[in-house]
Amino acid sequence: MFRPAHRLPYPYLLLFMILLGIILLPATAAPVAAAPELGGTLPLDVTVSDLLSSPGQSQLYAVDVAGADRLVIRLLVISGNLDPALALRDPGGNLLCDGASLGAFVELNCPVAGAGSYTVVVSDGQNDGTGNFNLYAQAVQQPAGAVALVLDTTATTALSPDGEMDAFTLTGSSGQTLLIRLLALSGDLDPAFRLFRPDGTELCSGSTLGSFVDTLCYLDTDGPFVLFVADGNGAGTGSYNLYAQNLQAPANPVTLALDETESAQLAPDGEADSFQFSGQSGERLLLRLLATSGDLDPAFRLFRPDGTELCSGSTLGSFVETLCNLDTTGQYHLIVADGNGAGTGSYNLYLQALIDPANGLPLNLDVPEAASLSPDGEADAFQFDGQAGAWLLFRLLATSGDLDPQLRVYRPDGTQLCSGSTLGSFVESHCLLDSSGSHTVIVADGNGAGTGSYNLYLQNLLAPANANNLLVDQSINSTISPAGEADAYTITAGVGARVMFRLLATSGNLDPQLRVYRPDGTELCSGGTLGSFVEIFCLVDSAGSHTVLVADGNGGGSGSYNLYQQNLLAPAGAAVS
């Protein structure tokens, strides 16, 4: 009897067919590198643009080298999905070095043993990418197309196309310190530089994701040296300024004298100016730097005779001031520049010693000194001898111009003792001397930029110079002149005495002010008015000679006055009834 063939249910049949298809499908092969193709020659310092058009492809380029050297080879992907890979082979085909990146840029730095034709191999590191690329090679020790970089001369040039480098040569000696400044002016350049020794090894470098890089390089061998400028990430282009200076033996330095303002200008962008002066260990210097035009953010750095940095100052405004303590004897070098690299403009630079100032004028007690500050940024120095324990009063009044007066008093060792400043026209400061010897007073504009005339006055509150004795029940007529001056009187009083003082301005624009100081120089009582008359009562709490000071309360007034004193407990001249 006929029996029909057994049939598998449909779902099982479908599963069987799928499994059979999987078994019979050929396995997918891994990417296989194609035979290398000759891409041509790769001249030094010439960017070659080419294409890997199929997965697994590689290109060979011949690069000729004149002798033993190091080659820097740069490969940058311009388009496509390439994972760039590089290799360098010697004339015998032996691998010297290789490198790859999962990004867009790869660079090799390979030593080559001698003259000959070397082979650069360009490929995709995964053997599955394609795309356009730029390829560049340069010799480190004998660079093609290198430009001599002259110290203190700004080189302006441009990087293009993407991936390219520029080469410079410069001289130098072991032990010297080089300042290198690199500023991008246009484009999307992330500027970077590398400095190479004569043997091709890297000495120092600098780079930034911004526009400006500034680096000190310490030379450990004699030159010549080679400097490469490039985009740090490979892909940027644009114009730039490059500047170099020797900090121990700078080119074109200007000798800087104490108490003389140097006016100069920074241009082009990225440039720096060099100054030099002789200094002694232990000296304390005041440095003032003021931008007077342009968009300059002024900055300075002071370098020791051995090229190491001693001190510095910078600002995002227009004025910077710093005190520097010299710790060695010899020739110092000062570099002035824009702190952010890109600013230009005019500036004034001023230098003064605080222990033994140049052209310091003697400042005597109770003798007003009239002087003027000019040009902008300048300071004036005065000197006086003082004894430890003395209480001194300083009064400083601007009498013309746009001066915001500032005074600072420095001890014999150059450290600051006290100071005073104002955005107005008048400042007064009390100083208790804590050391004996010659002190220095510096008068300047507190914000750097003001000029004008001023009056400076000094008095000792414990032993006032030219003081008149003020008797009980006595009226004294006198005059405050010039503006800023003060008159001193002395009285003798015992503890518990109640003393009345009456002060009346009789002419001029005087806003009369009266202050009484104890025998130790501290203030006992005071009074002042914007009118013409002031009266105060003082309870004496220490016996001895007191100092009475009469002045204009706002500093700027002058005129005649009457001063009267009476003891309220034992009044002199009182009528007896």
Are 207 and 260 within one domain?
no
Range of the domain at 393: 361-460
**Alpha carbon distance 548, 347 (integer Å):** 46
Query: Of the candidates 444, 460, 476, which is a domain's last residue?
Result: 460
Are 155 and 174 within one domain?
yes
Residues with Cβ within 8 Å of 231's Cβ and at least 6 positions away in sequence, in order, are 159, 162, 163, 189, 190, 191, 192, 237
Are 258 and 348 within one domain?
yes
Are 176 and 233 within one domain?
yes
**Alpha carbon distance 422, 477 (integer Å):** 32
Contact yes or no for 454/403 (Cβ under 8 A):
yes
Are 390 and 436 within one domain?
yes
164 within domain boundaries: yes
Task: State the pairing for strand pair 486-493/468-469.
Answer: parallel
Distant-in-sequence contacts of 209-215, Cβ < 8 A, 24+ apart: 211/183, 211/184, 211/341, 211/342, 212/181, 212/182, 212/183, 212/184, 212/270, 212/340, 212/341, 212/342, 213/181, 213/182, 214/179, 214/180, 214/181, 214/182, 214/337, 214/341, 215/179, 215/180
524 within domain boundaries: yes
pTM score > 0.95 for this model? no
* Cα–Cα nearest to 312, from 335, 282, 279, 280: 335
15 within domain boundaries: no
In this structure, what are the phi and psi dihedrals at residue 356, rounded to the nearest 5 degrees? -135, 75
**Alpha carbon distance 95, 249 (integer Å):** 44
Tokens of 81: 């999905």
5 within domain boundaries: no
CATH at 41 = 2.60.120.380
Residues with Cβ within 8 Å of 17's Cβ and at least 6 positions away in sequence, in order, are none
318 within domain boundaries: yes
pLDDT at 34: 56
Task: State the pairing for strand pair 37-41/58-65.
Answer: parallel
314 within domain boundaries: yes
Query: Of the candidates 429, 460, 491, which is a domain's last residue?
Result: 460
In this structure, what are the phi and psi dihedrals at residue 23, rounded to the nearest 5 degrees? -65, -40
Are 347 and 423 within one domain?
no
18 within domain boundaries: no
Q: Would you call 347 helix, strand, or coil by DSSP?
A: strand
Query: Of the candidates 300, 333, 353, which is a domain's last residue?
Result: 353
* Cα–Cα nearest to 290, from 265, 256, 327: 265
Are 334 and 373 within one domain?
no
pLDDT at 35: 58
Are 288 and 306 within one domain?
yes
Are 400 and 442 within one domain?
yes
Are 346 and 366 within one domain?
no
List the chain residues with pLDDT less than 70: 1-36, 573-577
Are 153 and 236 within one domain?
yes
Residue 357 to residues 351, 414, 508, Cα–Cα distance (Å): 10, 10, 38
In a 13 Å sphere around the CA of 112, the CA atoms on its Cβ side amount to: 33
Are 343 and 377 within one domain?
no
pLDDT at 39: 76
pLDDT at 14: 31
Question: Among all chains, which residue has been given the structure tokens 């709490």?
Answer: 541
Domain count for the chain, please give it: 5
CB-count burial class (<10 Å; 0-12, 13-18, 19+) for 169: middle
Tokens of 508: 């001029």
72 within domain boundaries: yes
Contact yes or no for 42/48 (Cβ under 8 A):
yes
